[in-house]
Amino acid sequence: MKVKIKSVDQESLAKLLSEAQVKLTDREAKMIDYCHGLSQTTWVGYNDEQLICAWGIVLPSLLSSEVYLWLHATGAIKTSQFLFVRHSQLFIQALLEDYDAVIGDVKVDAANSKRWLEWLGARFGPTRRGLTSFRIEKKWLIR
């Protein structure tokens, strides 16, 4: 298995998701477009030639010491969980060299996403409108 991660622009993300036959609801497609439009950078991850995820980081403000993380995983992630977690841990460690914390929200009923976040050292906060906030700090990471 060969993992490949590359950055993408606005147009290519929609094209890549379409080519990978990722099925999105209208709401999911709009949310991904919105997050991608706000992102400082967006990346996609492949296992061999199969798209497994797209993610990006958003700075809440220019002076923020925290960064907001968003992620969309395709169904193919199930075949690449361990590789994905290891590469995710390395990515989070790199972010925490530049920022004090990685923050975000996860759907309340997204058990796989919550498990992934726990593996990355996330602590969960309050739930609002079907989303639970999370926070990952350097001091929480297990090395």
User: Within 13 A of 39's CA, how many CA atoms are on the CB side?
Assistant: 22
Three-class secondary structure of residue 113 per DSSP? helix
Query: What is the predicted pLDDT for the residue at 30?
Result: 86
CA distance 65 to 17: 31
From residue 94, give the alpha-carbon distance in Å to each of 58, 87, 100: 15, 11, 11
| C-beta separation of 50 from 27 below 8 A | no
Break the chain into its structural domains and give their ranges: 3-140
Task: Say what the pLDDT of residue 101 is.
Answer: 95
Q: What pLDDT score was predicted for residue 117?
A: 87
List per-block mean pLDDT (blocks of 10 residues) for the chain, which spans 143 residues.
Answer: 78 78 81 86 84 86 88 71 77 91 90 83 93 86 51
> Residue 114's pLDDT is what?
86
Q: Which two tokens stand for residue 53?
A: 């995820």
Q: Under CATH, to which class is 3-140 assigned?
A: alpha beta
pLDDT of residue 8: 86
Type of residue at 70: W
